[in-house]
Structure 1
């Protein structure tokens, strides 16, 4: 095979690896190999090239189930990789929001963010309610819904070990891609409103640990699972069972 053809084939393969990191990240080299049908050595070669190019980064994550051993190496898109997806429309949106804030104040920007995430909440709520009252199950359903919307989400259960009480068990919800990352970095209220939606959907107060908008490798949300979701308020038959008051002081402020 000619050198040019080999280079083209390598580029196509590297693009496939990059797309898989975007879609499935945080993801390990072994998982990528299974997904793409490549040998571990071939996957790592392309991951090394992408890492040197600055478009992916290594995230060390606790192993599932909290077992002993070194943290697993998992790959996510870097800030440069996120930006390479194109953000011209976000620049236009940011300019429009700046004008809106100037004319009508920050409450108008928040109202815009609330409206944007209202559609997500309406679409996700029936599916998450089908998962039942268990918070871990609801968090997994939320992660699945986010992944279908290209947020590249995962949900890892973290079990509290003795002598810590089981009530301290949690799920870490990670999002490897944010379609409005640049917008959220300029207007943190988008992160705040999204966190509020997550809290209502799963049924407990949640806390943002990191966000892409603040330079994190992923958006990470801490979801406590040591109790059932909040019951439906008495005398409010129209309110969904998942609604709870959000503790804004527990949320990350980008």
Structure 2
């Protein structure tokens, strides 16, 4: 029974993204105490991790999510296909071919993002739209207001296999954010999954 609950917890976090223990308990029809015990065990195995999110009132809300090791519990033939295609392109067209592919992807994303952001004037609104766009692409994104800056947090990298094979994809995404948010703000990546971080975090603040 314990192994079954553990598997259901991992599946729930994979399919629905970060959740509180209470949300998981309600979805799985088990007690919150039991869910917390399993989450603590999964946390010790580095399969899940948590973040305490501040609310307007009351104590912070603890939200649980899969770690990179947790995501690896699920078969990913899609990643194997991507790696094979990238390696083949590199062998056939060399680094120049890969650079052209990355530039093409960046241009497509820039056009789509700029269109979505064009109707929004203020930075918080732009970031909310950007997070929604990233969530549609599977990045599990959220925006946190730090007072003097904003954090765009991505708890999952939906192009992890490609980015692992070619760091140019990560550089491209950082450039993309800078371009679509405009020269009035600075964008700095402060946490990076491929550098050992649990997530990717971008610090975004208005320029003086």
Q: TM-score, normalised by structure 1?
A: 0.66
**Counterpart in the other structure of 1:138:** 126
TM-fit CA distance, 1:77: 1.5
**Counterpart in the other structure of 2:156:** 177
**Counterpart in the other structure of 1:3:** none
TM-fit CA distance, 1:35: 6.7
**Counterpart in the other structure of 2:89:** 100
Residue aligned with 1:95, SS:
helix
Q: 2:53–2:63: 8 Å Cα contact kept in structure 1?
A: no
Residue aligned with 1:199, SS:
helix
Task: Report which stretch shifted further, 196-205 or 13-22.
Answer: 13-22
- Paired residues, number: 204
Cα distance change of structure 1 residues 94 and 225 upon mapping to structure 2, 3 Å threshold: same
TM-fit CA distance, 1:173: 0.9
Q: TM-score, normalised by structure 2?
A: 0.78
**Counterpart in the other structure of 1:47:** 39
Q: 2:153–2:202: 8 Å Cα contact kept in structure 1?
A: yes
Matches within 5 A, 1:52-63: 52-59=44-51, 63=54
Q: 1:171–1:225: 8 Å Cα contact kept in structure 2?
A: no
Matches within 5 A, 1:183-194: 183-194=162-173
Ranked by relative contact order (alpha carbons within 8 Å, sequence separation 6 or more), the top structure is: 1
TM-fit CA distance, 1:136: 1.7
CA distance in 1, matches of 2:121, 2:27: 32
**Counterpart in the other structure of 1:115:** 104
CA distance in 2, matches of 1:20, 1:128: 32
**Counterpart in the other structure of 1:163:** none
Please give the per-residue CA displacement for 1:23-70, whole angstroms capped at 9, x wherever unaligned.
333x443554577676532331231243345421234x57368x9x9x
Structure 2: 5+ residue stretches without partners: none
Structure 1: 5+ residue stretches without partners: 1-6, 160-168, 228-254
Q: 1:110–1:190: 8 Å Cα contact kept in structure 2?
A: no
**Counterpart in the other structure of 1:24:** 17
CA distance in 1, matches of 2:24, 2:113: 28
TM-fit CA distance, 1:134: 1.2
CA distance in 2, matches of 1:33, 1:54: 20
Residue aligned with 2:118, SS:
helix
Please give the per-residue CA displacement for 1:162-221, whole angstroms capped at 9, x wherever unaligned.
xxxxxxx21111111122213212211111111122222222341111222222111111
Cα distance change of structure 1 residues 99 and 148 upon mapping to structure 2, 3 Å threshold: closer
1:148 corresponds to 2:129: no
Q: CA RMSD in A?
A: 3.2
Cα distance change of structure 1 residues 225 and 150 upon mapping to structure 2, 3 Å threshold: same
CA distance in 1, matches of 2:101, 2:166: 11
CA distance in 2, matches of 1:154, 1:33: 23
